[in-house]
Amino acid sequence: TPLTVRILDSSGGNIYIFSLNPLIAAVTRISKHGGVKRLPVILEEDSRIKLELPNGIPSSVDEVIQEIKNFCEPVEYSVDNANFQRQDDSSMSSSACSGDTLPVSSPSSDTYRKEQWPKVFLIPTFSHSTETQLRDGNAEYQRSQVRLTPSSKMLSNILETLADKVYSYKSYPSDADFSEVAEALTQTHPCLKEPGSFNHSYGWKQRLKTKMYNYHTYLKSHISSSDELTVNTVKRKLPTDAHPAKNIKKPRRAESNHYPSLPLNETPESMEQERVALLSEVKKRNNVQTIRQKMAQTFSFRRQEIVDNKTSLHKMIERWPALFEVHEVNKEFLRVTTIPLEARFMLKLDEKCSELIQVVRKKGGAIREKTKLLPIVETDTDTTTKREIALKCLILNMGESVEDLIKEFLVSEKEEAGQILQQETIAIFVIRDAQATTKDIGIILEGQEVVNKLASVANAVAILLGFLYALNLEYPKTLKLTFEYIQKVFMELDPKGMATKVKKLYDQLYNRA
């Protein structure tokens, strides 16, 4: 029986669970990377990490735990024996070698949202009195189709409970979100269906909209930690923006924590002190844990600064240098969206990678001619190359230009490449030698190289998406559809309301046509 190690967070929830023996077997198969051993550690759904083990495979469980503690946030742990199903060799090897995933940990502050809007909205439990009336009303409706007329008290309880639940996911729900909640309510409790409404729930939708407006008003006047609402009041705006509908700061791309409130008992002044302390920590060696802790602690302060001031890239690098590490980009994306970045991106890309390439190659006209320039995918084509081809096919399918995103150069052209990249606002660069071996992959923002030495083009696209969210940057206009597909299909962030081309490809790949 493999030994199962459970590493627990401070609240006792299992966040790191892995089976030691099969993973050591997996390490044996992939240990030819310059003497550095790599241990894949499977985490929660859609997430895993890969540890670099320069000293080889640990000889004991305690050493394994110490390696993980060095890599992840400080945690407590316990060790149990349990049966774990071993993954097949191809699956484990692919996961381990991809180099694309990082640990997931929920933000510690109670002011952060922890979940995205659910795929299926579940109606919460109402008060005991309301639930009793609904149970009896549903039974009567099933017998005689007689609808229930809620009392004012019951109506108030239903709307207040729903508004609170909606706000736990979004501060500014869309019209489609309200429709979804209203329909879920009448489907869960059919006695509340409304005659004369095309979907039996239109009236509930309108009532909920009104309640949500009143709920916002209440939070702004009674709750101190409602910065995401008060930031849009006229009092908080600049004189040039002193109009209720001007320069509204609210999520545009399903950011769960677009404008989080500062932690309890913290002020902008105390947070600025933490930021300055963080600058000192960045200069120290072997100080990863402290940096990660302080980056998490200062998230809301940093996010408010970005949204309020639209801080320039140069100043962000100066004030928050740790944010420009790949690991912190992953962490920041998780804080903003509650979704793991590289893990989810690679999972969804691989899910339909072959089908995406096939669908796009079958198209005619200019797209077909352009796909002929891409390498042919063979049975022995490695995963990294396959992912790159799939992403280029995605761009072409959207009627956009690969060259607008990915700039490819030879090693001999490196000096020329530097001059070209200085003119780019957003780009991924790839440097290859004469044998087409990749020597470097990096990301350019506002003419500056912000990261390099990335594992693949696919990793670069994922990290670029992370930067766009972390720095609150707009999608490039010439690649808007490509990034919309990545956001709504790969990352499953606000999948409702896809553009026509995005929806068409989605339907083709997922047989929804």
Summarize pLDDT for 115-125 with one digit per residue, the tens: 899 999 999 99
Whether residue 35 is predicted with pLDDT greater than 70 in this model: the reply is no
Q: What's the pLDDT at 14? A: 43
- For 17-52, the DSSP string reads EEEHHHHHHHHHHT--BTTBEEEEEE-STT-EEEEE
- Confidence at residue 40, expressed as pLDDT on a 0 to 100 scale: 54
pLDDT at residue 71, as a whole number: 56
Q: What's the mean pLDDT in 476-483?
A: 97
3-state secondary structure of 352: coil
Is 70 exceeded by the pLDDT of residue 25? no
11 pLDDT more than 50: no
The model's pTM is 0.75
**Residue 234: per-residue pLDDT:** 45
| Percentage above 70 pLDDT, the chain | 73
**Residues 335, 290 contacting (CB under 8 angstroms):** no
Indicate if the pLDDT at residue 271 is higher than 60: yes
**203 pLDDT more than 80:** yes
For the ranges 273-282, 318-327, 363-372, which has the lowest average pLDDT? 363-372
Give the tokens for residue 22.
């099969």
* Helix extents (H) in 85-201: 89-97, 128-144, 152-169, 175-188
Res 226: pLDDT: 66
Confidence category of residue 232, pLDDT binned at 50, 70, 90? low
Q: What is the mean pLDDT of residues 237-261?
A: 70
Residue type, 3: L
Dist CA 52 CA 68 (whole Å): 10
Between 47 and 298, the more confident residue is 298
What does the pLDDT average to over 54-80?
Answer: 54
Residue 44: pLDDT over 50: no
| Better pLDDT: 250 or 165 | 165
CA atoms within a 13 Å half-sphere pointing along the CA-CB vector of 218: 10
The burial of 138, by beta-carbon neighbours within 10 Å (0-12 exposed, 13-18 middle, 19 or more buried), is given as middle
pLDDT bucket at 66, cuts 50 / 70 / 90? low
pLDDT at 38: 56
More confident residue, 226 or 492: 492
- pLDDT-based confidence at 347, cuts 50/70/90? very high
According to the model, what pLDDT value does residue 390 have?
Answer: 97
Reported as a pLDDT band with limits 50, 70 and 90, residue 243 is very low
Where does the pLDDT of residue 137 fall: very low under 50, low under 70, confident under 90, or very high at 90 and above? very high
Q: What are phi and psi of 98, to 5 degrees?
A: -70, -25
Please tell me the predicted confidence (pLDDT) of residue 381.
87
pLDDT given at position 286:
86
pLDDT at position 414 = 87
How confident is the prediction for the chain on average, in pLDDT? 82
- Where residue 444 falls among pLDDT bands split at 50, 70, 90? very high
Q: Is the pLDDT of residue 408 over 80?
A: yes
Task: Report pLDDT for 227.
Answer: 76
Percent of the chain with pLDDT over 90: 62
Average of per-residue pLDDT across 215-240: 66
Strand-pairing partners, residue 78, are 6
**pLDDT band per the 50, 70, 90 thresholds, residue 225:** low
How far, in Å, CA of 478 to CA of 401, rounded? 8
Which residues, in sequence order, are CB contacts of 78 under 8 Å at separation 6+?
A: 6, 8
DSSP letter string, 383-449: HHHHHHHHHHHHHHHTT--GGGTEEEEEGGGHHHHHHHHTT-SEEEEEEE-TT--EEEEEEEETTEE
pLDDT for 101: 33
Pairing of strands 426-432, 406-410: parallel
Please tell me the distance from the alpha carbon of residue 423 to that of residue 285, in angstroms, as a whole number: 34
| Residue 58: predicted pLDDT | 63
Angle at 118 between CA 116 and CA 124, to 5 degrees: 115
pLDDT band at 113 (very low <50, low <70, confident <90, very high): confident
Range 111-138 average pLDDT? 93
> How confident is the model over 450-472, as pLDDT tens digits?
999 999 999 999 999 999 999 99
Q: Give the least confident one: 40-44, 297-301, 361-365.
A: 40-44
- Residue 450 contacts residue 467 (beta carbons within 8 Å): yes
| pLDDT (0 to 100) of residue 448 | 96
Residue 187 has pLDDT above 80, yes or no: yes
pLDDT at 46 exceeding the cut of 50: no
- pLDDT-derived band at 197 (thresholds 50, 70, 90) equals confident
DSSP H or E run through 202: helix 202-222
Mean pLDDT of 359-367: 91
Rounded mean pLDDT, 108-137? 88
Q: How many CA atoms lie within 13 A of 5 on its CB side?
A: 24
Residue with structure tokens 């302080």?
Answer: 294
Q: Are 423 and 444 in contact (CB under 8 A)?
A: no
**Taking CA 445 as the corner, what is the angle to CA 443 and CA 448, rounded to the nearest 5 degrees?**
85
Band (219; pLDDT cuts 50, 70, 90): confident
Residue with tokens 């990082």: 102
**410 φ, ψ to 5°?**
-85, 160
